[in-house]
Amino acid sequence: MEMIAEIEKIPLFEGLPADQHRDLANIALRKAYKRGGTIFSEGEPGHGFYVVISGKVKIFKLSPEGKEQIIHIFGPGEPFGEVPVFEGRRFPAHAVTLDDTHDCFFPRQAFVDLIKTNPSRALNMLAVLSRRLRRFANLVDDLSLKEVPGRLAAHLLFLSERKDGSDTLELDIPKYQLAGLLGTIPETLSRILTKMTQRGLIEAKGPRMKICDRKGLQELAAGLKRLV
């Protein structure tokens, strides 16, 4: 069974000895979802957590009128849905797939039992949750302190950094999803992209973008300048 090979690749379980990877593989369940499938919904009781093996998962909140705020988009290797595991409560947000997706499911009780027998697993988990808290703190300050152009600039720079600072990059999600991730709507995003192009900050053809004025984007992202 190649489950164990997949588990070894999960950063969350990095640095653990082989027998513990086996323990994890023993409790893990494989699940598959079609693009657009719902993994869980806000308010449902959570009986375990997930790790993306392949595909993409969108975690989001929904307003009563149906506007969605994307909280995270997770790709291969990233865990999600872990909040209710340690709290014994319900999922705080929705999870649906953006592509055909495979993931591993770790049932709550079995996982907690494993942690009890080995604290280093707990430390890994604590690190993951801490990192997520940090990302949340940044998301909160983006949403409340920066205007949309600043958030977009920050996101483009983030994508560029993820490509080792390359000036050309490609959006890996459709623009209307990006809008949700930035806490806005497609129309606004579109207008801002147009403006950024006119101002010579970027060049954009479809989903491929080129950063032309990195410093300008950085100033926007830092809130030092605004997009006039």
Residues in touch with a second copy (CB under 8 A): 61-65, 67, 69, 71, 82-87, 89, 92-93, 112, 115-120, 122-123, 125-127, 129-134, 136-141, 143-146, 183, 222-224
What is the smallest separation between the CB atom of 201 and DNA, expressed in angstroms? Answer: 15
Nearest to a second copy of 144, 198 (CB atom): 144
> Which stretch of DSSP H or E encloses residue 152?
helix 148-162
Name the residue type at position 21.
H
Nearest to DNA of 95, 192 (CB atom): 192
User: Do residues 49 and 88 make contact, with C-beta atoms less than 8 angstroms apart?
Assistant: no
Nearest to a second copy of 6, 50 (CB atom): 50
What is the smallest separation between the CB atom of 224 and a second copy, expressed in angstroms? Answer: 6
User: What 3-state DSSP class applies to 128?
Assistant: helix
Angle at 47 between CA 112 and CA 19, to 5 degrees: 35
d(CA 207, CA 110): 43
Tokens of 141: 């300050």
Nearest to DNA of 193, 211 (CB atom): 193
Q: Which residues bind DNA (CB under 7 A)?
A: 65, 67, 147-149, 174-177, 183-194, 204, 207, 226
- Decide which of DNA, a second copy, none touches 32; Cβ closer than 5 to 8 Å per partner kind: none
User: Do residues 95 and 81 make contact, with C-beta atoms less than 8 angstroms apart?
Assistant: yes
